[in-house]
Amino acid sequence: MSTAVYPGTFDPITNGHYDLIERAARLFDHVVVAIATNPGKAPALDIDARIALARQVVAQHDNVEVVGFSGLLTEFMRQRQARILLRGLRAVSDFEYELQLANMNRAQMPDLETVFLTPEVENSYISSTLVREISRLGGDVSQHVHPEVAEALRNRYNS
């Protein structure tokens, strides 16, 4: 059984993330959306909220699992007995950083393979950072995220 792990902070999960998850669900037997605690990034939404929102967004996919994790990604991969790491590339500017990550991960776990997917064109400009900023400033992000995510962001920034 092929298991792919799609890691990130997902702060918040966007339509771009969902696009990749949906296609990965067709390519792999099992997809693990691994949500990092990542306190160094000072997430806007706590880990429990990010996990709950991601679960709502991917609920219709029986072969997608959402879990939280902390620590080294390669250790998480070993614990899950997964060798396929899924990453998204929105633009050429992402490639250099993602290549560096892929090589570092492979140095720590030689049998790990990183698979890159690109989002549909209409999702290629969406980032969690931009979605948070628009929402923080009172803008409408509903075209970029699932309705539950848009509501969570409104609640976060309007309270």
Burial of 83 (0-12, 13-18, 19+ CB in 10 A): middle
Hey, how many other C-beta atoms are within 10 angstroms of the C-beta on 81?
8
As a whole number of angstroms, the distance between CA 147 and CA 32 comes to: 22
The counts of H helices and E strands in the chain are 6, 5
The set of catalytic residues is 17, 41, 90, 128
Q: What is the DSSP letter of 68?
A: E
* CB distance 2 to 28 below 8 Å: yes
Q: What is the DSSP letter of 82?
A: -
What residue has token string 């990130």? Answer: 8
What SS3 class is residue 34? strand
